[in-house]
Amino acid sequence: MFAAIGWAIVKYVAVLAVSYLLNQALAPKQRSGQGPEAVSSDEWNFPQAAEGTPQCVFFGDCWTEDWQVLAYGNYRTTEIKKG
């Protein structure tokens, strides 16, 4: 009985090792060895309103139908999920 359990563990470890090696061999490689380059603020095109237009002020994460952008920052890598 213990021999069967021992062989099952050996088989499990062997399949795990082969799976890891295949994943490493077939994974896409990065071209330059670095991550994606950050975008500078000059490359963004943010709409701006005329002088004297009233603005809404939000604190935290909020979606709005207004097209005006007063400030931007805190670039995220994860989605903002609805409440």
Q: State pTM to two decimals.
A: 0.37
pLDDT one-digit tens code per residue, 8-51: 999 999 999 999 999 999 998 877 666 667 777 677 766 666 77
pLDDT at 15: 98
Q: Where are the domains of the chain?
A: 1-25
Return mean pLDDT, the chain. 78
For residue 78, give both structure tokens. 């994860």
Give pLDDT tens digits for 50-83: 777 777 777 777 777 766 666 666 666 666 777 6
What letters, b where the CB count within 10 A reaches 16 and e where it falls short, cover 35-72?
eeeeeeeeeeeeeeeeeeeeeeeeeeeeeeeeeeeeee
Task: Choose among 15, 69, 65, 14: nearest CA to 41.
Answer: 69
Q: What pLDDT was estimated at residue 61?
A: 76
